[in-house]
Amino acid sequence: MKEIVILGSTGSIGRQALDVIRRFPDKMRVAGLAAGSNWPLMAEQIREFRPRVVALAREEAARELAQNLPPEELPDIFWGPGSLVTVATAVDSGVVLNALTGTVGLGPTVAALEKGLDIALANKETLVAAGELVMKLAREKGARILPVDSEHSAIWQCLAGQPQNRVGKIILTASGGPFRKEPADLSRVTVDEALAHPNWRMGKKITIDSATLMNKGLEVLEAHWLFAVDYDQIEVVVHPQSIIHSMVEFVDGSVIAQLGLPDMRLPIQYALSYPDRWPSELPRVDWFALGELTFEPPDTKRFPCLALAYAAGRTGGTMPAVLNAANEIAVDAFLAGEIDFTAIPRLVAGVMEEHAVVYEPTLEEILAADQWARGAAREKARR
């Protein structure tokens, strides 16, 4: 039995991961769960999966959870920032699925890696902000980083043990989001329109990132660290059907692609089952109903966030952490109705321009840059 810890169990990825685990009761068991403040859903998950330890972000939510479960169903319950590390290190072997949103996911990732645990990584910010540190730590501890994002899972499967010197370039596919072609004036789009992704059903933050193409930019930064390729070897291609999840072009010109329906349970299952590949009842591609697969270059004038991410990655040091933190604040401000859609990249660019980059930063310097960028972004959002 493989023991699984899920950080972010009440979010979109966490719920889908539990659906995968539910299908393999003889292969996996849930050892720990962590979430924000949704204690009613956490209570349901505890009743079904019986974890030994759980964590919630707030004390009030933890108390409500404890009061609404019978004593015989009560796991060990923790709350507050340190509780994520407690749950992430609750097992001696197995897989920690990090499906948290934001740099809050960095600490528990580092703690689990220090213990030598494999990380199924759906938290982009871990590698965006601290990719060099995290990958070095994983190598030192003999732990594996198992990609959960559909694009990085696709690349991982396409590479399938191929030597690094055979890779020509990585091709990340992007759906283009809800505003790929229209409306012409993006400053007037509403929050509801930005949240209406044509292919994927995801959390609010990642859905807005998909609409701005920042999500793809963050994936470029992740791919650089996950697969040890230069930024000039990473290309983004808009593929509106979201059937090809990514491709690898090898030095001889041949291209291997990974295809499948847009269903996050497939890459989640692959990460949790690796190195095996288990049968599933997930929907299959109907090739005759599919019709066509189309491709186009990304419009970086319409969606400047993608270019900002490449620039941050090439600058290096603390700049990717600043890009990520400023974007989180900008997205929150857009969702709250404080700024318009086109202000997101302007705000991020403004914070990046003001940042004094620290090269070869420590974890403390990365976190300090993150906090500085959040403060600078909040100030700009209020103007």
Q: Which residues fall in the annotated binding site?
A: 10-13, 36, 38, 123-125, 149-151, 175, 197, 203, 210, 215-216, 219
The number of beta carbons lying within 10 Å of the beta carbon of residue 27 is: 13
Binding residues for 1-deoxy-D-xylulose 5-phosphate are 124, 150-151, 175, 197, 210, 215-216, 219
Report the 10 Å Cβ neighbour count for 5. Answer: 28
Sequence ranges of the binding site for Mn(2+): 149, 151, 219
Quote the CA–CA distance of 200 and 210 in Å, as a whole number.
10
**Residues of the binding site for NADPH:** 10-13, 36, 38, 123, 125, 203
